Amino acid sequence: MSRLFSETAALARRGGVSRFSSGARAWRGGVNRLSALLLALAVSACVAPSGPPGAPPPRPAPSAPPPSVIQPSVIQGEITPPDRRAPHSVPPLPAPLATAPSGDRASAMGVRPGPAVADLGIQTSEARAALAAFRLSCPSLLRRADASGLTRGEDWRPACTAAAGWRDADAPAFFARYFEAAIVGDGRFLATGYYEPEIAASRDERPGYHVPIYRRPPDLIDVDLGLFAADLKGRRLRGQAKGGSLVPYPDRAAIEAGLLAGQGLELAWAADPVEFFFLQIQGSGRLRLPDGQIMRIGYDNQNGREYVGIGGLLRDRGIRPAGGLSMQGIMAWLREQPDGGKSVMDANRSFVFFREIKGAGPIGAMGLPVTGLTSVAADPAFVPLGAPVFLNGDRPEANGLWVAQDTGGAIKGANRFDTFWGAGDEARRIAGGMSARGQAWLLLPVGTVARLNGANSAGAAPRP
């Protein structure tokens, strides 16, 4: 979904940065190895793309401080977002580790038990929203392999079975009974924010609406490299089928110069190129049509070119906009340039393609709607997608219970989160300034920590 549009506070935030899934997740490296693989692909220009779309492009990082609290004002799907104004008690913090653990996934880093879930001070409104989100996630939790190595599908069955009929009013008790708090690594988190932007657009080109929003083109090939080599699992390569070969797909400048014009790929037309540029960064959004109706669009792949954060680009060039390196400051600076900021935006060669979304949304990395003030993006190598997470840090509005339902291009590593704030001006403001640090507890099925540490091989069982 989730985001300072400079990389100043963002170097820690996005990789040094949904999605919705939510940002650009381009794969880099391994050129020599890929050369041999690509020879075997022999992709024909007439081959239609198949398989699931890849992950969206990264969202830039926040700078301006948001309000201290946010009150829910929207309903995403059927889930009412929680009231994030409610204060939380401070759970006891774990003892610091003498040596910071390392590993390429959570099970390699090791997990420690945290406090009892009942002692976390989970508020009823956030538990109710998290329970609704958890119910949506259950089918995926039960069937998919957990890349973090922490859980097995069957571990989630007791909680998922109980969740189906659990009373929403008693939601905190559900989490206290079926989950235990665990600390991955040192548990120290960094959380940023993302949101669902809303921009002016039209379904057809008309005066004032001349910026094309494209569907995924048929010649964009998305290759799952894990199908060719086990050590490339989880990595993808995107390119253009051309003359029987796979070549790099044209970049932003070429696409905006009219490369795809006249092919019937225009999904809609935006009014403002700067607003659309930042919607691409978020990876999903709402189009406010001339008649007042809302059209929701979601990420449907990317051209495979590397994402470049223009906040970091301006900083590296010694340019400091009058409004600072916040999203709003960068937007204002771009509009002041003689070319409307086009040359700077073109430096980000990544270009995102969209599809129209019907019903609840936006859609996260699990293929499910994400919920404002409840869903969070995380690295699936360290957090099972669908698992609850409790945060306690230096930004009160980010504290409390969340559900990991999304991923992000630079949301990488243990205890790295991107909180989703929904749509609207308030969501935009708080997401653009979110940068929180503190202690994270991952909520896992009861018995998981003991099993992982060799003390119990019987699997998960609810508390009495």
- Tokens linked to 20: 């919705």
pLDDT score, position 109: 94
Residue corresponding to tokens 């945290």 = 114
- 243, amino acid identity: G
Is 396 in contact with 430 (CB distance < 8 Å)?
A: no
Peptide bond into 250 cis (omega under 30): no
Dihedral angle over CA of 347, 5, 297, 224, nearest 10: 60
Sign, CA dihedral 40-45-46-52, equals positive
Residue 5 lies in a domain: no
pLDDT digits (tens, 9 = 90+) for 348-386: 999 999 999 988 778 888 989 999 999 999 999 999 999
Greater model confidence, 270 or 71: 270
pLDDT digits (tens, 9 = 90+) for 287-296: 999 999 999 9
Share of the chain above pLDDT 90, in %: 64
Residue 3 lies in a domain: no
Q: Is pLDDT above 70 for 47?
A: no
Residue 179 lies in a domain: yes
User: What's the whole-number mean pLDDT along residues 248-253?
Assistant: 97
Number of domains in the chain: 1
Domain of 284 in residue numbering reads as: 10-452
Is 70 in contact with 397 (CB distance < 8 Å)?
A: yes
The alpha-helical segments, DSSP class H, found in 288-433 are: 310-316, 327-336, 342-345, 425-432
Residue 247 lies in a domain: yes
Q: Are strands 416-423 and 375-378 parallel, antiparallel or unpaired?
A: antiparallel
pLDDT score, position 83: 86
Of all helices (H) and strands (E), which one includes residue 275?
helix 273-282
pLDDT digits (tens, 9 = 90+) for 275-329: 999 999 888 899 999 999 999 999 899 999 998 989 999 999 999 999 888 888 9
- Output Rg (C-alpha) for the chain, integer angstroms: 22
Q: Is pLDDT above 70 for 63?
A: no
Read off the CATH number of the domain in which 438 is found: 2.40.240.50
- Burial (CB < 10 A; 0-12, 13-18, 19+), residue 37, is middle
Distances (CA, A) of 8 to 61, 321, 326: 8, 14, 10
Q: Is pLDDT above 70 for 404?
A: yes
pLDDT grade, residue 193 (50/70/90)?
Answer: very high
pTM: 0.75
Q: Which among 46-55, 111-120, 454-463 has the top mean pLDDT? A: 111-120
Mean pLDDT of the chain: 83
Residue 185 lies in a domain: yes
Q: Is pLDDT above 80 for 24?
A: no
pLDDT grade, residue 455 (50/70/90)?
Answer: low
* CA gap 120, 141 in Å, rounded: 24
Residue 464 lies in a domain: no
Residue 171 lies in a domain: yes
User: What's the whole-number mean pLDDT along residues 17-27?
Assistant: 37
Residue 457 lies in a domain: no
* CA gap 272, 265 in Å, rounded: 19
Reduced to 3 states (helix: H, G, I; strand: E, B; else coil), residue 83 is: coil
Q: Are strands 294-302 and 352-357 parallel, antiparallel or unpaired?
A: antiparallel
DSSP string of 172-222? HHHHHHHEEEEEETT-EEEEEEEEE-EEEEESS-BTTB-EEEEPPPTTEEE
